[in-house]
Structure 1
Amino acid sequence: MGYEALNIKGIARTKLAKSAYDAGWGQFLRILAVKAERAGLRAIAVNPNGSSQNCSRCGQRVPKAVQDRWHSCSHCGLELGRDHHAAINIKYRAVGHPVLFASAGRSPQAQETSFSR
């Protein structure tokens, strides 16, 4: 199970501060780690850089503005909601799956819609 290793202290200095503190993000991550361990899993923090910019199918960079909510890759044709797409990249990073299929010379496995063991 993977999650983005966000800089909570950095977020706390932005307009998102109230949301980050209201959600108790740090506490949530501690609970997530305990629950994962009890289920025989690990909660793994991954680098969030490019999680929504790099295509999860072909690995090409597809730049987006913050307000763009849809991933549409002109290289391989993948169409997904931005958050769903980023979640796939985060999962791949957490399990050590290569995100850059094009450079790895492999074809992607079927895209999954949820996290699994």
Structure 2
Amino acid sequence: MIVSMFASLIAPFGGFFASGLKRAFKIKDFGHTIPGHGGITDRMDCQFLMGSFSYLYYETFISTHNVNVGNMLQSIIVNLEPQEIIILVQSLVTYLYKIGTIDEAAFQKITSSLA
């Protein structure tokens, strides 16, 4: 329903955008593959807008992103500085201690080695 509403109300503006782009560059057509009607791009301008919207809609509302330990570790290593990783580990150890997953001896040993 959402995609069909977008297709009927917004997608035609892809043609207006392409027309404005052509006028800005002072060209009549994007190509000469279809004589008298411009190129393939002139026939597909609305489809480009619809394809972009469909992809965005799928990624936002339909697609599931599987998160696992490997993906999370890779993201941490790539995006955080070493000092930030240490703060993250300290926070995780404190959390695990507070919920009772690790005992006090392990908590003291880990926190003293991180300091």
**TM-score, with length taken from structure 1:** 0.24
| Rg comparison, structure with higher value | 2
Structure with more of its chain in helix, by fraction: 2
TM-score (norm 2): 0.25
- Which structure has more relative contact order (CA 8 Å, sep 6+)? It is 1
